[in-house]
Amino acid sequence: MALVLSEEQSMLRDSARGLISDKAPVSHLRQLRDSKDATGFSRDLWKTFAEMGFSGLLVPESFGGSGLGCVEAGVVMEEIGRTLMPSPFLSTAVLAASALSRGGSAAQKSEHLPKISDGTLLAALAIDEGSKHRPLQTRMQAVRSGNGFRLNGAKAFVVDGHTADLLIVAARSSGAAGEREGLTLFLVDPKSKGVETERTAMVDSHNAARIIFDNVEVNADSVLGEVDQGYPLMEGVLNIGRGAVAAEMVGLSEEVFGRTVDYLKERKQFGKRIGEFQALQHRAAQLYIDIEITRAAVLKALQSLDAGVESAGAAVAVAKARAGSTATLAVQEGVQMHGGMGMTDQFDIGFFMKRARVCQELFGDSNFHADQLARLKNY
């Protein structure tokens, strides 16, 4: 398959770009932040996303979606990255839709997927517990109780956890932290007794929550996939999320870079435009090259996920690691080259820097994925 977007994918990009740049430029995020909006995103805009088919992008057609793949999800994520639009697209349309389509029973799929597709159900994936992403270290307990399970533990960094109508929760039904066996995914209603959600305001003004589960009773039907065998499903869904976040970082990096190059062509010091200084030209060129190479690696990962090839895991590790380091470089150069203006809240560049830091952590930072690649290659 050619490592470029198809005509249909380019059309999807154009329509996503049109909508997002029009309705949710960076000022949209700024306004939500400044007004301390309780939802943290626009429900109206999410309705529009649903009408345009974006919320059901990964939902199979038989459940009202478009049945498209990770490349298409990446196309939308990249546009989201350009304006930093806060939206349940990642949590609901990418992660939850993938988890349910891949692991859901017929009943679970028909109950939830059509609602994800029409935009009426918001969902969140609860994996992380400690300060770093270590899915195998999941300690949250799921103990058999009657016909179902009793859940005890605490989750952190649950993206969009504060508004979710449905939680997808990883817990240990057997075995010890660090083991692949013994993990199970559960569908949990956040209104259940014993679930306590704390919205956590984050540095990037996007949405996340800490959620405590105190003796939460769930029945056997709430198991997503198989008991004790949840790891492959979880890892598959996480890889899709990693590919999607990497795509968001490509959009973010390119936007920061574009704004920075524009500034180099405009800002005058010492009687000339600062873009005439070779010290800045070479750094700008290096960043451009870095972004282009990362873009290729991310598209490769998304295509590999869609093709379901064995090498997809390594391709995702490469893409997420690269996207994280590229975005980190892009935002630092962005702030530095904007000089004092880059340090002001009034200027948008800072928003990109904050979001890049969060995207780095989300589903494993560059070091985590370098370690993953080394493990895959046995060294």
Partner 1 sequence: MSDLEKFRRETRAWLEANCPPEMRRPMTSEEDTFWGGRNTTFSSEPQRIWFERMRDKGWTVPHWPKEYGGGALDPEQTKIVRQEMAAIGARQPLTSFGISMLGPALLKYGTEAQKKEHLPKIAAGLIRWCQGYSEPNAGSDLASLQTRAESDGDDFIINGQKIWTSYANYADWIFCLVRTDASAKKHDGISFILFDMASKGVSTKPILLISGRSPFCETFFDNVRVPKSNVVGTVNRGWDVAKYLLQHERAMISGMGERGVGRPLGQVAADSVGADEQGRLEDPILRGQIASFEIDEAALACAAERAVDLAKAGQAHPAFSSAMKYYGTELNKRRYEILMSAGGIDALEWESERSKGGARPRAWLRTKANSIEGGTSEVMLGIVAKRILDLPGA
Contact flags string 214-253 toward partner 1, x per CB under 8 A: ----------------------------------------
Cα torsion 146, 129, 166, 108: sign: negative
| Partner residues linked to 198 by β-bridges | 210
Rounded to an integer, what distance in angstroms lies between the CA atom of residue 351 and that of residue 339?
A: 16
In the complex, minimum distance from the CB of residue 291 to partner 1, in angstroms, rounded to a whole number = 10
Contact flags string 311-330 toward partner 1, x per CB under 8 A: ---xx-xxx-xx--------
C-beta closer to partner 1: residue 131 or 379: 379
* Residue 154: HSE in the Cβ half-sphere, 13 Å Cα cutoff: 7
Q: What are phi and psi of 202, to 5 degrees?
A: -110, 165
In the complex, minimum distance from the CB of residue 285 to partner 1, in angstroms, rounded to a whole number = 4
* Binding residues for partner 1, total number by CB under 8 A: 43
The single residue among 185, 264, 359, 362 that binds partner 1, judged by CB under 8 A, is 264
The number of residues in the chain equals: 379
C-beta closer to partner 1: residue 119 or 334: 334
The maximal CA–CA distance of the chain, rounded, in angstroms, is: 79
| 347: contact with partner 1 by CB under 8 A | no
In the complex, minimum distance from the CB of residue 282 to partner 1, in angstroms, rounded to a whole number = 4
C-beta closer to partner 1: residue 144 or 375: 375
Contact flags string 270-309 toward partner 1, x per CB under 8 A: --xx-xx-x--xx-xxx-xx--xxxxxx-xx---------
Rounded to an integer, what distance in angstroms lies between the CA atom of residue 177 and that of residue 328?
A: 31
The single residue among 147, 215, 269, 367 that binds partner 1, judged by CB under 8 A, is 367
Task: Sort 50 into a burial class: Cβ within 10 Å, 0-12 / 13-18 / 19+.
Answer: middle
Residues 86-125 binding partner 1 (CB under 8 A) are: none
Torsion over CA of 192, 114, 241 and 303, rounded to 10 degrees?
Answer: 160
Q: How many CB atoms lie within 10 A of CB 164?
A: 27
180-215 burial: b if 16+ Cβ within 10 Å, else e: eebbbbbbbebeeeebebebeebebbbbbbbbebee
Residues 135-194 binding partner 1 (CB under 8 A) are: none
C-beta closer to partner 1: residue 200 or 332: 332
The token duo for 131 is 């300060």
C-beta closer to partner 1: residue 121 or 298: 298
SS3 per residue for 14-79: HHHHHHHHHHCCHHHHHHHHHCCCCCCCCHHHHHHHHHCCCCCCCCCHHHCCCCCCHHHHHHHHHH
C-beta closer to partner 1: residue 203 or 293: 293
C-beta closer to partner 1: residue 227 or 314: 314
In the complex, minimum distance from the CB of residue 368 to partner 1, in angstroms, rounded to a whole number = 11
C-beta closer to partner 1: residue 158 or 291: 291
C-beta closer to partner 1: residue 31 or 286: 286
* Residue 67: HSE in the Cβ half-sphere, 13 Å Cα cutoff: 5
Torsion over CA of 320, 322, 328 and 334, rounded to 10 degrees?
Answer: -120
Residues forming contacts to partner 1 in the complex (CB under 8 A) are 2-4, 261, 264-265, 272-273, 275-276, 278, 281-282, 284-286, 288-289, 292-297, 299-300, 314-315, 317-319, 321-322, 367, 369-371, 373-375, 377-379
